[in-house]
Amino acid sequence: HAGPRITSPPDAWPLSLWAELRSHSALIGGMSGKVFGPSDRPTNASRSNSPTTSLSPSSPSSKASLASKLSSEGLSPKPSEKAKAEAKPKPDKEKEKGGNKQKSKSGKSDKKVKEQDDPFGAMPSDSPFAKAGSLKDVVGDLEATADMIIQKLKLCEEVYNFQKDDCMPEKEGKRLTLLEVLAYWPMPEPKEKEKEEPMKKKNSKAAGTYGSGEDSRELEMSSGAQSSGSRSSGIPMIAAAVKVVKSNAFRTLIHKERSPMDMLDGEDDEPYLEPTWPHLELVYDLLQKVLQMKELESSLATEAGLDKRFVTQLVELLETDDPREREDLKTLVSRIFGKFSSFRSTVRRAIQSFCQRAVCLEHGEAPAYGLSEVLEILSQRVISSFSSPLRQEQKDLLTQVVLPLYKLDFLSCFHSSLKDAVRVFCKKDATLIKPTVQTLLRFWPQCASSKQTIFLGELEDLIHMMPAADFKAVAALCAHRISSCCISSHSEVAEKALGIWRHQPTVRSTVQNCRDDLPLIVSRLYSNITQAWGPNVMSRTMDVLKNFMEADRELFDNCSSKHRKQGDDAEKRETIRLKRWAKLQELHDLAHPERQKNNRSREPRKAQNSGRPQLTCNQEVSLNQDASCAFSLCWDRADATLKDQLQLQALLVNTSGKIVEAINSRNLTCFQSAVRLTSRAPQKNSKEACCGTIWATLDLLPVETALVLLVVTASNRSCLGDVAHDMALVVDFNGKVQLGEILAEPQPDAKMGLLGALRRLDWSSWNLLPKVEWATCEHFTDNPEMFSRVIKEALPLSLKKHRGQASFVVMSKGSVADCPTLTPAKQKVFLGMGWDFYSDEDLTVEVALVCLTASGQHVSTVCKGGQSVTGAFHTGDGALSAGIFLDFDALPVEVSVAFLTAHVPSEDFGAVQQPHCTAIDVTGREIWRYTMPEEKKTSTGLIMARVFWNEFYDRWSFQALGNYCTGRSWSDSLEYMKSLVTVPPSSYQTLLIEDEDTVARGDHRSTTAASSSAQSVIIAPPR
């Protein structure tokens, strides 16, 4: 419809031609929104022939008749340059955003320009999208254009897998189709033209050419008919667009695995990017186009499928890992909230649910992303729309939804948005500042220094905003928290806390409202001067003391004198305490002279030198690539009667931080004897006793083994200090090469100690890290914190939930693993057994758990169809598996060992493929797994494993057996199981390598561990 704007008839034009031109101008203006002449209303006849929608182009017949009239008079006007510019189609900004984001430095390529001008022209001919036709061919027909857009959108509902390199023509065709739909999607008219229409009506009315009141009513009816027609024709197209959004955007989100420690680091540098983003971005642009339509109201949107459920799912998509998608979703949700007032409560409830899931659910289930965008919507749209004074439900949104987010560990990821939301609430209602401060003090972090810094900054801003009357109620709590942070060992926390009291009005308010608590505050500040190590902390402490002194000099002097008096009293109490302990020691020595004699007899032995250098703790020592290290634990006896209560262990940790093997007196070897326990005692030993030697052949260890921890333990009946003192972990190489020794004196209540670690640097290099740490528990599965800390230092990339976790899932024949005993819930396990068949014959395998006493007497049997016993029941047999639930604490006290058996009633185990068993605790974590090797046997019975009572640690242990036997049922094999009760666990273990002091490398002999003389405690020969 480009052409010069005609506001008055030329002098040479006939009046009849001018009247017809006005009629056509009104017709075209009713269709396109443009005004070409005076705003005379068209006649009823012309109005009845006009289209009923504002989206229709002008009729070609009317344009042709108008042009012929003008040419017959010789007065065809030439379009001006401005009109030519208006007639030129403008590029769609949304299309440019979706299709032309990435440009080369030299400019757009020919392909990009072609896609922008005509996306259908660049479409692959072999894709189904090319058969739908081009929208360019039907651009003049509104109905055909709408039908083709709906047809193309239906094709775009199909989602393609971008993880595979297939369907490339279809993927490219869908992208170009979405670009084409965006280019030809009907857009609202510019605001300038909307403002131009009433001005023209006003001018025409002043000139007396606007028409009568009846014509005005007819025009209103005509415009209402056009609006109704636009509404009815726009619903199918909007519904098709909404379906495309649902099929492409509403999906199961894929999240990158992140540990809680990763979340503390803030935003991810390498987030997971949605592979379908080339299509998904255009789908969101299409939804943006739909929301920009003026005729789209809430009733029309609901009818087209854009309902409350749609809005809720759109908010839930903010959990996606892709930051690009979160940004688009934030814009869309904000536009929906501003456009549809009926959906505002839905958006608020969806945001509330999103935040509460983040607070209440555990790690792995709670949303890790999207909180920043959700809080931005909340602060910029939702809270800003509240009117003052706030209602109670609006205040509850702050106290029950927003403030609990401060409890999250990854607060730094969304703190800025959370801070803005809280500020908007507090500006709306100043009475909310006090409960906000109280909530911060209740959720105050005790260890996380980064969160403490954030909380201190929040507290400082809120104190400045708080009214004086409200500050009086929380002044004491704030002062205690700030003063405790002032003496923090973390310099950043201390500086931030001291910075609050560098503000003199805050100091004056604190002195005025905390006069009774000021002595404690001043005392902490004085101690900061003598104990703080940072120069900035000391200088700021002096400034804060000066501010307190200027606020109230008399009160400050009283507090200073109290601090000095308290220091003198503390010194006196310490002197009295030392005297009392000296008196008690003297009385003890008089009552036990034999212990005093033993202590004096040990003093000369401490001066003896073994000739080995002492290895410094936490100072790594490089090892040879092909070295075999020998670790021998030697000590002096503290009590001669307690000689069998000490044990040396080696814990093998994989690259994930899990403990996968434990070498001890019941499990003497692992990984083809790469790590093993032998009876060797080191030469030139200056100690009274030794509990054997753990050998580690480094070049034989699997690549997955990243760490070997050396641990000493005592039984649950005694402490390490009661058994030994002056411990020494002697470290030698093969060939009797001495490396050094690690000296350790056990703490009085310690039952377990870590004495060193072997750390892998790469596939062939290892370092020895001497380390001395003690724990009060007797087993490594009961104290994962100590090992988790050591594993974190050695393997910083390992996940926190895996560090120190015992997971014996690579057990071999004869391997032994202990059961954790931290809580009663962990004493419940599920023993499962699985298998497969070589043929398709209908075979069955009967699984049972046979319980015996320590002497071999039969107590009970848990099997399918049999009676369940206390603490165990059969869960049923399947085609390829069976299971037994076992509660160790509820088992009869006479049960000392239980055998897990399997029998084939009709065939033999030659038809059974790879039987295996596993144990799963109540948390769903697999703690044991044993898989038998591929071998065909003619036996009909199998003793898969046994669970026995461990006397050393007073806990249950699991041993993988894999012994074939005869018999068609458990009762037929009962006598064989009785003979296995007294067999020690080491009898089923094979030592491929023994002591390398006496056996040359490459000339190792295979022996059973039972034939070795290794015992739990081996006394060194007399010197």
At 389-409, the pLDDT tens digits run: 889 999 999 999 999 999 888
Region of residue 711 (left: phi > 0; alpha: psi -120 to 50; beta: else): beta
Q: CA 358 to CA 355: how far, in whole Å? A: 5
Average pLDDT over residues 530-554: 86
Q: Could you tell me the two tokens for 243?
A: 């379906």
User: What was the pLDDT predicted at 210?
Assistant: 35
User: What was the pLDDT predicted at 73?
Assistant: 40
Q: CA 582 to CA 592: how far, in whole Å? A: 15
Average pLDDT over residues 186-214: 47
At 282-339, the pLDDT tens digits run: 999 999 999 998 888 888 888 888 899 999 999 999 989 888 999 999 999 999 999 9
- The yes-or-no verdict on residue 153 having pLDDT over 60 is yes
- The yes-or-no verdict on residue 504 having pLDDT over 80 is yes
Q: CA 179 to CA 114: how far, in whole Å? A: 12
Nearest Cα residue to 849 out of 875, 825, 878, 819: 875
**Where does the pLDDT of residue 766 fall: very low under 50, low under 70, confident under 90, or very high at 90 and above?**
confident
Contact in structure between 727 and 719 (CB atoms under 8 Å): no
H or E element, residue 20:
helix 15-32
Region of residue 316 (left: phi > 0; alpha: psi -120 to 50; beta: else): alpha
Mean pLDDT of the chain: 76
- The yes-or-no verdict on residue 57 having pLDDT over 70 is no
Q: CA 180 to CA 133: how far, in whole Å? A: 11
Nearest Cα residue to 751 out of 720, 722, 779, 781: 720
Residues 6 or more apart whose CB falls under 8 angstroms from that of 750 comprise 719, 720, 721, 774, 775, 776
**Where does the pLDDT of residue 35 fall: very low under 50, low under 70, confident under 90, or very high at 90 and above?**
very low
Residues linked to residue 658 through DSSP beta bridges, in sequence order = none
- The yes-or-no verdict on residue 569 having pLDDT over 60 is yes
Nearest Cα residue to 994 out of 736, 717, 655, 697: 697
| Residue pointed to by tokens 């105050």 | 444
- The yes-or-no verdict on residue 130 having pLDDT over 60 is yes
Q: Percentage of residues in the chain with pLDDT exceeding 70?
A: 74
Average pLDDT over residues 160-176: 86
What's the residue count for the chain?
1023
At 924-944, the pLDDT tens digits run: 788 888 988 877 678 889 999
Q: Could you tell me the two tokens for 92?
A: 């769609």
Dihedral, CA atoms, 307, 311, 313, 316, nearest 10 degrees? -170
Helix (H, G, I), strand (E, B) or coil at 1000: coil
Burial of 923 (0-12, 13-18, 19+ CB in 10 A): exposed
H or E element, residue 524:
helix 518-531
User: What was the pLDDT predicted at 732?
Assistant: 80
User: What was the pLDDT predicted at 279?
Assistant: 92
Average pLDDT over residues 461-468: 91
Q: CA 717 to CA 724: how far, in whole Å? A: 14
**Where does the pLDDT of residue 364 fall: very low under 50, low under 70, confident under 90, or very high at 90 and above?**
low
Is the CA virtual torsion 984, 986, 990, 996 positive or negative?
Answer: negative
Is the CA virtual torsion 794, 799, 800, 806 positive or negative?
Answer: negative
Bridge-based pairing state of the strands 808-811 and 926-931? parallel
User: What was the pLDDT predicted at 328?
Assistant: 93
Q: CA 963 to CA 820: how far, in whole Å? A: 26
Residues linked to residue 882 through DSSP beta bridges, in sequence order = 833, 877
At 871-904, the pLDDT tens digits run: 888 888 777 888 898 888 888 888 999 999 999 8
Q: CA 274 to CA 280: how far, in whole Å? A: 9
User: What was the pLDDT predicted at 938?
Assistant: 80
User: What was the pLDDT predicted at 410?
Assistant: 82
User: What was the pLDDT predicted at 419?
Assistant: 92
User: What was the pLDDT predicted at 1?
Assistant: 36
Nearest Cα residue to 185 out of 232, 225, 150: 150
User: What was the pLDDT predicted at 824?
Assistant: 53
Mean pLDDT highest for which of 5-9, 439-443, 613-617, 640-644?
439-443
Region of residue 565 (left: phi > 0; alpha: psi -120 to 50; beta: else): alpha
More confident residue, 599 or 571: 571
**Where does the pLDDT of residue 211 fall: very low under 50, low under 70, confident under 90, or very high at 90 and above?**
very low
Q: What is the pTM for the complete model shown?
A: 0.48
Average pLDDT over residues 801-808: 76
The string over 336-354, giving b where at least 16 C-beta atoms fall within 10 Å of a residue's C-beta and e elsewhere, is: bbeebeebbebbbebbbeb
Average pLDDT over residues 757-781: 85
User: What was the pLDDT predicted at 898?
Assistant: 92
More confident residue, 946 or 749: 946
Q: Tell me the residue type at 602.
A: R
**Where does the pLDDT of residue 478 fall: very low under 50, low under 70, confident under 90, or very high at 90 and above?**
very high
User: What was the pLDDT predicted at 718?
Assistant: 74
DSSP 827-861: GEEEEEEEEEESS-S----EEEEEEE-TTS-EEEE
User: What was the pLDDT predicted at 783?
Assistant: 67
**Where does the pLDDT of residue 46 fall: very low under 50, low under 70, confident under 90, or very high at 90 and above?**
very low
User: What was the pLDDT predicted at 376?
Assistant: 92
Q: Write out 608-641 in H/E/C secondary structure.
A: CCCCCCECCCCCCEECCCCCEEEEEEEEEECCCC
